[in-house]
């Protein structure tokens, strides 16, 4: 314990916790191991909203039948470079790995691989999947869609989700460039502000339920999020809905069910594009040019308040190494709330109370 309010969870203890929880939720063992690895990766990289704290949400959805362990991708239609796939309400993490593996196989054989996944469940941080491609010297782009909590630029009510966008680029002698971001303000951060009774949040993050700008955390939580960067976030979010929903003939924009509806299918999905650099200028030259770009960024004099210029994904790698040594930081209240929520889903967590 570092203080009365927080503590650190050793990595192997966190892994054991995940395996125990999802084993009780009847996740097959091979799938459970992969799920635990992906969830733990998010926690280690500091993406705590998609790490072990997300377990009660998944438990609720598995118990309700919205998420169904043991399901695999089913290919509805494919060409040498594309695949339209149905996740069959399987776990988002494991079906995303399957989708990336299909895209990688096609890219290795035919230079490009594009896969749409529909009827999927929440799949956590996209960075894990695009890193799979970057580690194999492939370039990957990935998009997701989600429940329409975000108002369009210039609008007063929700149209699309926080629709994440991610890319992974091999770095040659350097670590891969990996970027994963939501296209709107963080709903989780606003929820945390409500729980912490923070008096206000910054401007330009949210609207209240009537569509008026607000800095009140509770009004923002009950209202609508705003796209990041105005038209930039709006445009990228629409692109995600087109690639994920429209290309697969599935849910997009206001079609996506509310996040609190756990009785219906989640109705979200993913789009994956993998590119083999060898088909263009060739891998050796490509990696040399990417290395030049990385080194050029690192050579820039840092601004006030920064020790150096980092490339996308570098901070997450640093955090992962730190948390491997020190453990995953956890607020006592967050841990207790998570265990209480799991108990409400008939998961035995007696051994995990502190």
d(CA 189, CA 201): 10
Question: Cα–Cα distance between 341 and 352 in angstroms, integer?
Answer: 13
Same-domain status, 276 and 352: no
User: Do 129 and 239 fall within a single domain?
Assistant: yes
Q: Would residue 176 count as lying in a domain?
A: yes
Tens digit of each residue's pLDDT (9 = 90 or more) over 212-252:
999 999 999 999 999 999 999 999 999 999 999 999 999 99
Task: Indicate if 15 and 28 belong to the same structural domain.
Answer: yes
Contact assessment for residue 132 and residue 34, using Cβ atoms and an 8 Å cutoff: no
Tally of domains in the chain = 2
What is the Rg, in whole angstroms, of the alpha carbon atoms belonging to the chain? Answer: 20
**Spatial separation of the C-alpha atoms in residues 131 and 112, rounded to whole Å:** 17
Q: Does residue 205 lie within any of the structural domains?
A: no
Q: What is the pLDDT of residue 196?
A: 86
| 47 phi/psi in degrees, rounded to 5 | -90, 70
Q: Same domain for 12 and 156?
A: no
Helix, strand or coil for residue 280? Answer: coil
Distance CA 157, CA 207 (A): 8
- The pLDDT of residue 185 is 86
Residue 3's pLDDT band, with cuts at 50, 70 and 90, is: low
Same domain, 31 and 112: no
Same domain, 231 and 176: yes
Angle between helices 92-110 and 29-44 (to 10 degrees): 90
DSSP conformational letter for 331:
E
DSSP type of residue 246? I
Examine the domain organization and report whether 56 and 83 are in the same domain: no
Alpha-carbon gap, residue 234 to 278, rounded angstroms: 33
Look up the CATH number of the domain holding residue 302: 3.30.1370.60
Stretch 294-323: mean pLDDT: 97
Shared domain check, 130 and 26: no
Distance CA 226, CA 157 (A): 10
pLDDT digits (tens, 9 = 90+) for 246-271: 999 999 999 999 888 898 899 999 99
Confidence of residue 305 (pLDDT cuts 50, 70, 90): very high
169-210 pLDDT, tens digit per residue, is 999 999 999 999 999 988 888 988 888 888 999 999 999 999
Cα–Cα distances (Å) from 134 to 10, 271, 287, 321, in that order, read 28, 17, 11, 19
What residues make up the domain containing 333?
A: 1-64+328-354
What strands lie across the sheet with 206-207, from one edge to the other?
213-214, 206-207, 224-225
What is the spatial distance between Cα 75 and Cα 122, in angstroms, rounded to a whole number? 19
């Amino acid at each position: 314990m570092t203080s009365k309010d927080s503590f650190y969870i050793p990595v192997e203890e966190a892994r054991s916790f995940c395996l125990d929880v999802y084993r009780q939720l009847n996740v097959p063992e091979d799938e459970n191991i992969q799920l635990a690895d992906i969830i733990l990766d998010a926690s280690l990289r500091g993406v705590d909203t998609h790490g072990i704290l997300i377990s009660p949400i998944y438990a609720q959805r598995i118990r309700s039948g919205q998420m169904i362990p043991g399901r695999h991708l089913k290919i509805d239609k494919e060409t040498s470079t594309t695949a339209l796939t149905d996740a069959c309400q399987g776990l988002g993490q494991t079906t995303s790995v399957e989708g990336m593996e299909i895209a990688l196989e096609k890219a290795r054989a035919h230079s490009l691989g594009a896969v749409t996944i529909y009827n999927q469940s929440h799949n956590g941080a996209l960075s894990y999947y695009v890193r799979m491609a970057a580690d194999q010297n492939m370039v990957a782009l990935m998009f997701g869609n989600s429940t329409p909590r975000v108002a369009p630029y210039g609008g007063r009510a929700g149209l699309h989700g926080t629709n994440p966008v991610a890319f992974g680029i091999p770095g040659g002698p350097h670590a891969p460039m990996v970027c994963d971001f939501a296209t709107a303000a963080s709903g989780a951060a606003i929820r945390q502000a409500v729980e912490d009774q923070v008096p206000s949040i910054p401007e330009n993050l949210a609207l209240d339920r009537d569509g008026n700008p607000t800095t009140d955390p509770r009004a923002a939580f009950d209202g609508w999020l705003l796209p990041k960067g105005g038209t930039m976030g709006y445009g990228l979010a629409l692109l995600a809905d087109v690639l994920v929903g429209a290309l697969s003939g599935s849910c997009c924009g206001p079609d996506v069910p509310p996040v609190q509806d756990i009785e219906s299918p989640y109705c979200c999905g993913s789009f994956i594009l993998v590119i083999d650099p060898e088909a263009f200028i060739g891998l050796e030259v490509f990696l040399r040019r990417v290395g030049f770009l990385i080194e050029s960024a690192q050579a820039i004099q840092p601004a006030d308040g920064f020790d150096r210029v980092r490339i996308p994904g570098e901070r997450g790698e640093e955090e992962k190494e730190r948390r491997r040594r020190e453990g995953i930081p956890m607020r006592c209240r967050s841990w207790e709330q998570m265990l209480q929520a799991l108990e409400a889903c008939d998961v035995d967590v007696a051994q995990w109370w502190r």
